[in-house]
Amino acid sequence: MLPNWAQLLDLAARLCPVSEELRHWFCQLTTRAGVEDARTVIERCTLLRQSIQQHRESIATELRRSRDDVQPSQIVGAWMYALDTMIQEAQSSKTCSWTVEGAEDVEIDDSDGGDITLRRV
């Protein structure tokens, strides 16, 4: 089970200068069930994590509602934690499967055990 902020990793990908392919992958991750090779999950999470780290200030500026708003730094920190958690989960399996609670998808069977669950709000 991932932290709640993982459900907004597609927003993180949209705010970062990453490839359209990476944006699409995170959009798919947060909207429908899937299964992926663990190496791919690690690679994509690492790429987004690096981009968030490199552009942390500009992302926080985009998220800021007022000058004294501290929530953007908390959001960025939560995204980093979610990505670290996903990388850690993927490192212990060959494949990763995920479901999005609240999404209408077909159940995906992954016998390798690399389960990731996102809650849709």
pLDDT score recorded for residue 110: 46
pLDDT at 28 over 80: yes
Higher local confidence (pLDDT), 110 or 44: 44
Domain that residue 90 falls in = 4-119
pLDDT at 79 over 50: yes
What is the total count of domains within the chain?
A: 1
Q: Per residue, what are the HEC states of the chain? A: CCCHHHHHHHHHHHHCCCCHHHHHHHHHHHHCCEEEEHHHHHHHHHHHHHHHHHCHHHHHHHHCCCCCCCHHHHHHHHHHHHHHHHHHHHHCCCEEEEEEECCCCCCCCCCCCEEEEEECC
pLDDT score recorded for residue 119: 46
The residue length of the chain stands at 121
Higher local confidence (pLDDT), 15 or 33: 15
What pLDDT digit, counting tens, does each position of 104-120 carry? 544 544 455 555 555 44
